Structure 1
Amino acid sequence: MSEEFEIRNKVAESGLVNFDLSTLVPKGVRKGIDLKDFLFQEMILKEKDFREKVEAINTEEYEGAYIYIYNSADAIVPLWAYFVLTAKLTDVAKKIVFGNRQDLEVILMHNAIQTYDFDFMRGKRVLVKGCTDKDIPENAYIELVEQIKPIVKSLMFGEACSNVPIIKN
């Protein structure tokens, strides 16, 4: 094949770093626990009943899981109840948070971004992938920019064929 018809990958030759934020999404099962299931008539927390229900939890179901605890009942739950439930599961779960599934994902991505080593991007042109098959919280993109803006030469968002320039240092 002659050089005049040689197929070249100009994106690869450009030194552009393609970064897919979805690679930081922690792998593992997510499980929710609704406190209403631990309440008397789904309305009142009776300490003895609550402690018995927590004690009866099969912790094997939560082994290695990311857990979010929420309360769908219109009931006031004392803070110590969260202590009791968390103490039961903390030895088997990877992470336990209060809130909904989205709150869990925000916290997981926050932890992933804060602990990731972005040094390989130092002085480079970086393109953050725009499309992904994973649901990534918007806050993760904000935290990503906070982390890499000071170290990259330039930052873009989208795809190589159609990107949005964000910054140039």
Structure 2
Amino acid sequence: MAEDFEIKNKVAESGLVNFDLSQLVPKGERKGIDLKDFLFQGLILKEKDFREKVAAINAEHYSGSYVYIYNSADAIVPLWAYFLLTAKITGSAKKIVYGNREDLEVLLMHNALQTYDFTELTDKRVLVKGCSDESIPENAYIELVEQLKPLVKSLMFGEACSNVPIFKN
């Protein structure tokens, strides 16, 4: 009698394609540079002092990293300061942005989504994984829907056992 019993994986048989957005998160260390550390008494940018501090940076410290430059001080920083700092670490860092860590993650995911080849999902029923160990910016989900809507047969969000239908073409 036990021989007649067959376990079926209904999810596998459904033709549903699981898509895990966390697979697109670029790997690499994230490092922030606070311009406050380059200011005289944390308040004023003195060109000579600023140039000396930038010159003292070991660009290799940022090798292979994703870098975000921000200013936590209540000080006005001229645009050329960002030019100098960026010029110093360009070539070592993988990517440099102005803003906070979240701004960096949004841009990295944007770039990943714009360059990913989604053609393998054409006319498929796609389930976008709802839970991840990676922190995914909300904007990435919006961009993903924009990318998938013209391609896929249907889109769902969540897990196979409990998902939310988004659309059907």
Give the distance between the partners of 2:41 and 2:24, measured in 1 at CA: 41
Using structure 1 for the length normalisation, give the TM-score.
0.98
Alignment partner, residue 123 of structure 1: 123
The CA distance in 2 between the partners of 1:30 and 1:42, in whole Å, is 23
1:18 matched residue in structure 2: 18
Counterparts in 2 of 1:49-68, with a 5 A limit?
49-68=49-68
- Superposed CA deviations along residues 11-32 of structure 1, whole A, max 9, x for unmatched, are 1111110000000000000000
Q: For structure 1, list consecutive stretches of 5 or more residues without a partner in the other structure.
A: none
List structure 1 runs of 4+ shifted beyond 4 angstroms: none
Q: Which residue of 2 aligns with 1:134?
A: 134
Map 1:18-37 → 2, pairs under 5 A: 18-37=18-37
49-58 or 5-14, larger mean C-alpha shift: 5-14
Number of matched pairs: 168
Q: CA deviation at 1:43?
A: 0.5
Task: Determine what percentage of the aligned residue pairs are the same residue.
Answer: 80
Give a deviation string over 1:48-94, Cα, whole Å, max 9, x none. 11011000001121000000000000000000000000000111000
Alignment correspondent of 2:73? 73
Deviation at 1:154, TM superposition (A): 0.2
**Partner-residue secondary structure (3-state), 1:158:** strand
Q: Distance in 1 between matches of 2:33 and 2:5?
A: 60
Give unpaired runs (5+ residues) of structure 2. Answer: none
Letter in 2 for 1:41: Q
